[in-house]
């Protein structure tokens, strides 16, 4: 199938209009066709604070690397008010007088450490900073402070909290987000990989054998979306 190219002159299409266009195209065409559609908007739109959907990150990104975003709760870790019997890497900390027990998904830190060499890697959580930052510092201390995004960086639409991937100011063929919640896939369906929620079990192998090869393949392709389309929901 020939690639369909949509070209817009500079200044004629802002980022909000582009997002609407992409949603409409996704609804008009089936998934197979959409993986072949390329909209080279980044070369034709000046990305400024006026046309961004939400405030952009001030982080300097390596343009040679794609952006890889991980949710935290139930994706990388599991938190509980009571200790859970297992053999997982864990921590406990006190937040507002309450003990919180947190468990790392098996091999999560090992895989993220490896992936940060291939991607501009972020952890983006809907949790508040006072809760999430100590967890990231404990399990994923190699993730820089400015690559940690919290609830105040999220957007809200129809009473749902979601992460706006446009804030990274990168073409959408170079952005991936890994989540555990199916509810969020509707916001960026072509960029979202859904994995099973982590429930603090020892036998979880998503980060050990399954997810890594998919993401490594994404790092080598010009467009991550066809690969995501083939692996949109990753299971054990």
Sign of the Cα pseudo-torsion (165, 122, 229, 200, in order) = negative
**Can you give the pLDDT at residue 146?**
95
Q: Which CATH superfamily is domain 54-78+105-230 in?
A: HAD superfamily/HAD-like (3.40.50.1000)
Q: Can you tell me the distance from the alpha carbon of 213 to that of 230, in angstroms, rounded to the nearest whole number?
A: 13
Taking only the tens place, the pLDDT of each residue in 137-161 is: 999 999 999 999 999 999 888 888 8
Region class of 36: left (phi > 0), else alpha (psi between -120 and 50), else beta = alpha
**Can you give the pLDDT at residue 20?**
53
Query: Strand (E) positions, the chain?
Result: 4-5, 37-38, 66-70, 77-80, 90-95, 98-104, 119-124, 148-149, 155-157, 160-162, 175-179, 192-194
Query: Strand (E) positions, 107-230?
Result: 119-124, 148-149, 155-157, 160-162, 175-179, 192-194
Using 50, 70 and 90 to split pLDDT, how confident is the model at 209? confident
Using 50, 70 and 90 to split pLDDT, how confident is the model at 210? very high
Using 50, 70 and 90 to split pLDDT, how confident is the model at 54? very low
Structural domain spans, the chain:
1-51, 54-78+105-230
């Amino acid at each position: 199938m020939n690639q369909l190219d949509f070209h817009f002159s500079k200044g004629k299409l802002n980022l909000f209009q582009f997002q609407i266009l992409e949603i409409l195209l996704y609804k008009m065409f089936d998934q197979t066709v959409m993986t072949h559609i390329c909209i080279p908007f980044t070369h034709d739109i000046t990305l400024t604070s006026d046309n961004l959907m939400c405030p952009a990150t001030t982080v300097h990104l390596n343009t040679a690397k794609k952006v890889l975003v991980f949710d935290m709760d139930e994706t990388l870790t599991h938190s509980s008010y009571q200790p859970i019997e297992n053999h997982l890497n864990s921590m406990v900390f006190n937040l507002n007088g309450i003990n919180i027990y947190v468990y790392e998904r098996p091999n999560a830190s090992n895989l993220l450490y490896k992936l940060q060499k291939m991607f501009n890697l972020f952890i983006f959580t809907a949790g508040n900073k006072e809760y999430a930052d100590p967890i990231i510092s404990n399990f994923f201390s190699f993730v820089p402070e400015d690559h940690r995004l919290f609830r105040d960086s999220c957007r809200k639409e129809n009473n749902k909290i979601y992460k706006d991937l446009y804030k990274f100011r990168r073409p959408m063929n170079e952005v991936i987000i890994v989540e555990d919640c199916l509810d969020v896939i509707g916001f960026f369906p072509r960029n979202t990989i859904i994995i099973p929620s982590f429930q603090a079990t020892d036998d979880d192998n998503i980060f050990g054998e399954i997810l890594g090869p998919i993401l490594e393949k994404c790092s080598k392709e010009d467009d991550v979306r066809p690969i995501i389309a083939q692996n949109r929901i990753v299971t054990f």
